[in-house]
Amino acid sequence: MKRTEEERFEAARRGVPLFWYGTRRSRRLTVLLGAAALGLLYVSAVVCWFLGPGDPAMWTTFALAALCMAIGAWVFCVLYVASGGAIGVARHKLDERQLTERRLAHAAAHRGTAYLLGITVFLALQMDGDADHFLRLPTPTVFLWLYALFCTHLLLPQLTAGWRLPDPLTEEDEAGAGALA
C-alpha cells in the first residue's frame, strides 16, 4: 500500500509532539541538535585521523555515525513537520510563502556549503606526499570528511528553514489580521 505525500505528512505530524516545533525557541533548539548530529560526522573524520587506521577508529566511527543517524532522523522529522514540508515536498504542492521559505533556505544553505567547500579546498592544497606539506591524512579520514560534507549539503537547507521559521499565528493574531483586512 503506497501512501500519498499528504498521508505521510499527517502521520509524521501525529508522531511529533508540538513541544519540539511549537515555538521559535524549541525549533532553534531542535536545529542546534541537528547541527550537533551533523557535527558528529566531522568528529568521526577527526577521530579517524588520530586513531586510524585500525579497529578503535572503525568502531568509534560506526558508533558516531549510528548516533548521528538516530538523532538526525528525529530532528529532520520534526523540522519537516514544522516547516510544513517546505523543503521536502514537490514544488507544485507548495504555496507562495513556502516557496519563498524554500528559496531563502536553499540560498543560505548554499552559502554555508560554499564556506565548507572552501575549507576543504584549502586543506586539500596542504596535502601532498612530500615532507614540505604539514598535513597527512589517512584515506578513510578524507572519505569521512567528504561524506560529512555531502550530508551537510543535503541537510543544511532543512536546518536553515527550521532556524528561520517564524512562530505560527495565534488566534488573537489571526483575529487582528482579519479586522485589518
Interval 34-53: pLDDT, tens: 999 999 999 998 888 888 77
- pLDDT of residue 143 exceeding 60, the answer is yes
pLDDT one-digit tens code per residue, 55-90: 888 898 889 999 999 998 888 888 888 877 777 777
Residue 69: DSSP 8-state: H
Residue 133, CB half-sphere, CA atoms under 13 Å: how many? Answer: 12
How far apart CA 144 and CA 105 sit, in angstroms, is 25
How far apart CA 145 and CA 55 sit, in angstroms, is 19
pTM to 2 decimal places = 0.75
Identify the pLDDT of residue 55: 84
- pLDDT of residue 7 exceeding 90, the answer is no
How far from each other are the two terminal CA atoms of the chain, in whole angstroms? 45
Section 145-174 average pLDDT: 81
